[in-house]
Structure 1
Amino acid sequence: MMTIHQPPPTPAVTGSDTRPHAIVIGAGFGGLAAAVRLTARGYRVTVIDKLDRIGGRAYVHEQDGFRFDAGPTIITAPFIFEALWELHGERMDDHVTLKPLEPYYTLRWDDGRTFRCWSDADRMREEIAAFDAGDIAGYEDFLVESEKCFRTGFLRMIDEPFHSFGRMLAQMPHLIARRADRSVHALVSKYVRNENVRQSLSFHPLFIGGNPMRTSGVMSLISFLERKYGVHYAMGGTGALARGIADLAERHGTTYRLDTEVDEIVVRDGAARGVRLKGGETIEADCVVSNAEAGWTYTHLLRNHARKRWTDRKVARMKYSMSLIVWYFGTNRRYEDIGHHTIMMGPRYKGLITDIFDRKVLADDFSLYLYRPTASDPSLAPEGCDAFYVLAPVPNLDGDTDWTTMAEPYRQRIQDYLEGSVMPGLSDAIVTSKLTTPLDFRDRLLSTKGAAFGMEPTIFQLAWFRPHNISEEIADLYLVGAGTHPGAGLPGVVSSAAILDKLVPHAAQRA
């Protein structure tokens, strides 16, 4: 069950720090949370990242007076983040401000109809009634099932390690009771009939790289999670939350080496004993935590070490999430009719998802997620301006799209669509622009096949079936981040670091 563990106090940092040394590869949310927890467990920590600033997928782009969150923007379950400060006797609220959003987001279809998601039950009933009043009772029943899934998939599993199959077997009765073999879309469809309502309640797996048609119905827990704990925005952007965690770790003995790439993990006598950098420097450590993508960790950082399970072939054969086209742009005017989070559903739902995940072709149509943080926080743009990003799910690099030639025409199609639907005059209003493609996910973020969320969360790629939080290949190597258990999304990534408390010996045990 999910708990907050309070380890013994951390020894003070001195000029001759003799604490056991832990290296964390990657300064994304998983790596930063790992650093906080390792310092609380008595370690001296060094975080190494190839990028020039912290954040990983939550990198912050600054351009022409605008600030753009590069990646994750949906913040829920704030207690998961608060726990990091509590480990060191601090309060998150003293360092980071989370603002609850209402509505959480707005779904919009091509015919102009909208569905807004609220925490208030009466408002949600009104939204459903606008499409089909007959679905209200089914929605209430769905929420009951969503809470049961939350108790199984979140409370029982999110911070539990699954490095032994016995741990997986112990959860099987609960998973069977929840019909974990049934997809999120199938579960939702059992309770509601209207297609718009079905889409509104089943799209959430896309936030964690999953196909709603085959992601386990247990992931419908997200509906209850959002209803109970809300959807929040970190003032200053998601990057401000990442910075807050990084500063917390630094206050308690973490150092950062940015713009520095790890070439391989050093293995001696079957155990991780440090890292070798691209320039040839070796840094010794008592243990290594990799927040790099799991596939990259095994196929590149351990390329010179024989592997029994996570061989190159095994990594290549796993199913990977979709990729993304992400267009960041700033405007010299404000679009007050656009909310904080808008999901623009295309003319096809199942068909488009099949094109992206299975056929891996770039379709003529698309669905979009439009993020306007300046609806809540004008500080991210110059006065009178708006900062946006819009992303489109696209096939990963298993497809044959040539993004060197297709990226800009595709971006232009997105711009034309936005201008013709919700952003009149957009072409003349754009004053800054930046584009990220699947090639950037592969080359800059070192994501296998350019997958934006790592391995796809199918039923046979969850929990024990994913790369484990403690490596079965070598001792003293641990994994955090989207590629291990529990998976992608901010609550999952930060919880992967919480699992370290159950796996990494306290520093006092190494003395």
Structure 2
Amino acid sequence: MGKKVIVVGAGVAGLASAIRLQHAGYEVEIYEKESMVGGKMHQIEQDGFKFDLGPTIVMMPELYREVFELAGRNPDDYIPMERLDPMYSVFFGSREEDHYEIRSDLVELMKTLEEISEEDAQGFLNYLGEIYERFTVAKKHFIQRPFRNPSDFYNPSTLRQALKLKTFDSADRFISKHLKDERLKQMISFQTLYIGVSPYNGPSLYTMIPMIEFLYGVWFIKGGMYTMASAMERLFRELGGKVRLNAPVDEILIEDGKARGVRARGDRVESDFVVCNADFPYAMKNLVNDRKAKGKYTDQKIDSMKYSCSCFLLYLGMDKKFEEVPNVHNFVFSGDLEVNLNDIFTGNRMDDPSFYVYIGSKLDPSLAPEGKDGLYILVPVSELSTSKYEWDEETIRHYRTLILDALKKVPGFGNVENHIVSESFMTPPDFESRFNAYNGACFGLRPNLAQSNHLRPQSKAKNCENLYFTGSSTHPGAGVPIVLLSAKIAVEELLLDDRGTVTAACKPGNQTAAAADATGT
């Protein structure tokens, strides 16, 4: 057999790293503390209902497919998916004119925009053109490459490209330059919350997220998002990989400046390399005990860093189908989005939150008992180090009441509360305890300017050999497609150190993945 690699954590990036390494000829073993794989891409089963625990929106499907194509498999056999159009509904109030269906069909989208304002329709096209140009620069020079040494960033060529990104503007200011209608601005700018930052201070580059939706579409995987996690586990096992579930890692063993394996449940397990998919801040505080290997990431440094927002989630099993709600993905906006977002990032408890409703059983009836729907409701909230309130029963009741009262006013939902037959929830402390998400921050370290690109934790450990990091708190950042890229970068870095080449990490079983890789989609 080849050299042995231990992967700590079976989150999306851990699974993708494990598949790539097993395919490249390594003997890979995953250690996962939970009883199932997926990390935050988990599944909740209750009373015949199935809910995705965390991520729900599939963007950039080529990156999902690439992991399977790499191993010579047909992705459709593992993650059958369909494109959604409309992509989602947006609700600003209870009247019909407060409801918009957002299409990725540009012809239909332009009709909607022109109804709002012809000037804004023109502005929207200008926004798309400008952000697409910056997206291509980011893709080519930043998102898909590591910054192992300072000189990888601080050189004339890269700095010249960095200036083209115009990162010093906020998402909201950039959108406001092109659009005037407040609702339209909110529809586009709120999506920075997909990676846990506010559009009012998050870098304008992150307005590429809605652009990716408009130009490449939103997709749905049969069985929900958890299908992706379970399919990656299946592929990894087919390739000969081993998965240890209910196996928490206590420590990454570091001796003489090298990772030598892990300590799990008191047992020493040796390996040639360690790939850590545990959240980077948690790992540096709890799994890396060697002071030299921590480098600048001391406990004080970890605590002083900025974190993305967290989420409060309700999983509601209903006794009926919501036929009058047209779409799977639904966004309900509060009266004042700016106040709402300011509360999230300053730690205040909100009294008028915006939230998201996902009804996966609309597209896949197997996710709920016959004749019923499951509602997944997500409210972005403060992470624990910022929060000025406790997550007690009163706080949970407060948010639950606000959500259900707001839903009553949204066309198609009616008196939701009277139809609940099954209920559970996740809070920021749950994300912290179950998934080791530091401060309960669902998207890891906040991707602000001081924590992006070369300033974000990198895949290759700076002060320890044979140790690599992957996941949302590392470069290039959060969001499922981006953490899939972080897995690719981590494996390429390992191969570069071990073999002096990265080709085995990228060489697919057919040419589709190579084409996807060339386009960066």
TM above 0.5, yes or no, is: yes
Matched, 1:356 2:339: no
| Distance in structure 1 (CA, Å) of the matches to 2:29 and 2:73 | 21
Q: Which deviations, in whole Å up to 9, do the C-alpha atoms of 1:293-343 show, x marking residues without a partner? A: 110110110134332211111111111011110001111101112211111
Q: For residue 412 of structure 1, what is the aligned residue in structure 2?
A: 401
| Distance in structure 1 (CA, Å) of the matches to 2:374 and 2:452 | 36
Matched, 1:98 2:85: no
Unmatched 5+ stretches in structure 1:
1-17
DSSP-derived class of the 1:160 partner? coil
Q: Please give the residue correspondences for 1:15-26 in structure 2 after superposition, counting only pairs within 5 Å.
A: 18-26=1-9
Q: For residue 154 of structure 1, what is the aligned residue in structure 2?
A: 139
Contact 2:93 2:409 survives alignment (8 Å): no
| Distance in structure 1 (CA, Å) of the matches to 2:94 and 2:320 | 26
Contact 1:149 1:219 survives alignment (8 Å): no
DSSP-derived class of the 2:143 partner? coil
**Amino acid corresponding to residue 323 of structure 1 in structure 2:** S
**Alpha carbon RMSD of aligned pairs, Å?**
1.6
Contact 2:138 2:165 survives alignment (8 Å): no
Contact 2:251 2:286 survives alignment (8 Å): yes
Deviates more, 1:22-31 or 1:146-155: 146-155
Matched, 1:78 2:65: no
| Distance in structure 1 (CA, Å) of the matches to 2:20 and 2:112 | 42
| Distance in structure 2 (CA, Å) of the matches to 1:153 and 1:413 | 39
Q: For residue 460 of structure 2, what is the aligned residue in structure 1?
A: 470
How far off its partner does 1:217 sit?
1.4
Q: For residue 508 of structure 2, what is the aligned residue in structure 1?
A: none
Q: For residue 299 of structure 1, what is the aligned residue in structure 2?
A: 285
Q: For residue 517 of structure 2, what is the aligned residue in structure 1?
A: none
How far off its partner does 1:272 sit?
0.8
How far off its partner does 1:507 sit?
10
**Amino acid corresponding to residue 203 of structure 1 in structure 2:** F
Matched, 1:205 2:192: yes
How far off its partner does 1:267 sit?
0.6
Q: For residue 512 of structure 2, what is the aligned residue in structure 1?
A: none
How far off its partner does 1:111 sit?
4.9
Residue 433 (structure 2) aligned to one of 428, 443, 446? 443
Residue 42 (structure 2) aligned to one of 51, 54, 59? 59
| Distance in structure 2 (CA, Å) of the matches to 1:363 and 1:122 | 38
How far off its partner does 1:19 sit?
1.8
Deviates more, 1:394-403 or 1:222-231: 222-231
**Amino acid corresponding to residue 409 of structure 1 in structure 2:** H
Q: For residue 403 of structure 1, what is the aligned residue in structure 2?
A: 391
Q: Which deviations, in whole Å up to 9, do the C-alpha atoms of 1:414-450 show, x marking residues without a partner? A: 1232234342132221111111001101111111111
Q: Which deviations, in whole Å up to 9, do the C-alpha atoms of 1:67-86 show, x marking residues without a partner? A: 10000111111111221112
| Distance in structure 2 (CA, Å) of the matches to 1:231 and 1:171 | 31
Q: For residue 36 of structure 1, what is the aligned residue in structure 2?
A: 19
Evaluate the alpha carbon distance shift between residue 439 and residue 289 of structure 1 in structure 2; reply closer, same or farther with a 3 A threshold: same
How far off its partner does 1:506 sit?
6.9
| Distance in structure 1 (CA, Å) of the matches to 2:102 and 2:160 | 32
Deviates more, 1:208-217 or 1:385-394: 208-217
Evaluate the alpha carbon distance shift between residue 80 and residue 216 of structure 1 in structure 2; reply closer, same or farther with a 3 A threshold: same
How far off its partner does 1:29 sit?
0.6
How far off its partner does 1:171 sit?
2.9
| Distance in structure 1 (CA, Å) of the matches to 2:497 and 2:237 | 18
Deviates more, 1:418-427 or 1:480-489: 418-427
DSSP-derived class of the 1:58 partner? coil
How far off its partner does 1:355 sit?
1.2
How far off its partner does 1:45 sit?
0.8
**Amino acid corresponding to residue 231 of structure 2 in structure 1:** G
| Distance in structure 2 (CA, Å) of the matches to 1:101 and 1:220 | 21
Contact 1:20 1:507 survives alignment (8 Å): no
Deviates more, 1:81-90 or 1:420-429: 420-429
| Distance in structure 2 (CA, Å) of the matches to 1:168 and 1:253 | 38
DSSP-derived class of the 2:210 partner? helix
| Distance in structure 1 (CA, Å) of the matches to 2:99 and 2:234 | 40
How much identity, in percent, do the aligned residues show? 32
Unmatched 5+ stretches in structure 2:
501-521
| Distance in structure 2 (CA, Å) of the matches to 1:450 and 1:509 | 38
Contact 2:22 2:236 survives alignment (8 Å): yes
Q: For residue 109 of structure 2, what is the aligned residue in structure 1?
A: 124
Q: For residue 337 of structure 1, what is the aligned residue in structure 2?
A: 324
Matched, 1:317 2:304: yes
| Distance in structure 1 (CA, Å) of the matches to 2:498 and 2:253 | 23
| Distance in structure 2 (CA, Å) of the matches to 1:66 and 1:197 | 35
Q: Give the TM-score of the pair, scaled to structure 1.
A: 0.93
Contact 1:340 1:373 survives alignment (8 Å): yes
| Distance in structure 2 (CA, Å) of the matches to 1:231 and 1:403 | 33
Contact 2:352 2:402 survives alignment (8 Å): no
Residue 369 (structure 1) aligned to one of 352, 356, 378? 356
**Amino acid corresponding to residue 31 of structure 1 in structure 2:** G
| Distance in structure 2 (CA, Å) of the matches to 1:320 and 1:105 | 28
Contact 1:326 1:437 survives alignment (8 Å): yes
Q: For residue 50 of structure 1, what is the aligned residue in structure 2?
A: 33
Q: Which deviations, in whole Å up to 9, do the C-alpha atoms of 1:81-104 show, x marking residues without a partner? A: 221112211111122101101111
Q: For residue 288 of structure 1, what is the aligned residue in structure 2?
A: 274
| Distance in structure 2 (CA, Å) of the matches to 1:55 and 1:92 | 18
Q: For residue 168 of structure 2, what is the aligned residue in structure 1?
A: 181
DSSP-derived class of the 1:379 partner? helix
| Distance in structure 2 (CA, Å) of the matches to 1:31 and 1:441 | 18
Contact 1:60 1:67 survives alignment (8 Å): yes
Deviates more, 1:67-76 or 1:218-227: 218-227
Q: For residue 12 of structure 1, what is the aligned residue in structure 2?
A: none
DSSP-derived class of the 2:291 partner? coil
Contact 2:91 2:410 survives alignment (8 Å): no
Residue 431 (structure 1) aligned to one of 413, 421, 430? 421
| Distance in structure 1 (CA, Å) of the matches to 2:83 and 2:317 | 24
DSSP-derived class of the 1:416 partner? helix
**Amino acid corresponding to residue 154 of structure 1 in structure 2:** K
Q: Which deviations, in whole Å up to 9, do the C-alpha atoms of 1:385-414 show, x marking residues without a partner? A: 001110111111121211023123322321
Evaluate the alpha carbon distance shift between residue 114 and residue 153 of structure 1 in structure 2; reply closer, same or farther with a 3 A threshold: farther
How far off its partner does 1:186 sit?
1.2
Q: Give the TM-score of the pair, scaled to structure 2.
A: 0.91
How far off its partner does 1:23 sit?
0.8
Matched, 1:143 2:143: no
DSSP-derived class of the 2:5 partner? strand
Q: For residue 6 of structure 1, what is the aligned residue in structure 2?
A: none
Contact 1:309 1:473 survives alignment (8 Å): no
Contact 2:310 2:441 survives alignment (8 Å): yes
Q: For residue 380 of structure 2, what is the aligned residue in structure 1?
A: 393
Deviates more, 1:33-42 or 1:397-406: 397-406
Number of equivalences: 491
| Distance in structure 2 (CA, Å) of the matches to 1:402 and 1:218 | 33
How far off its partner does 1:465 sit?
1.0
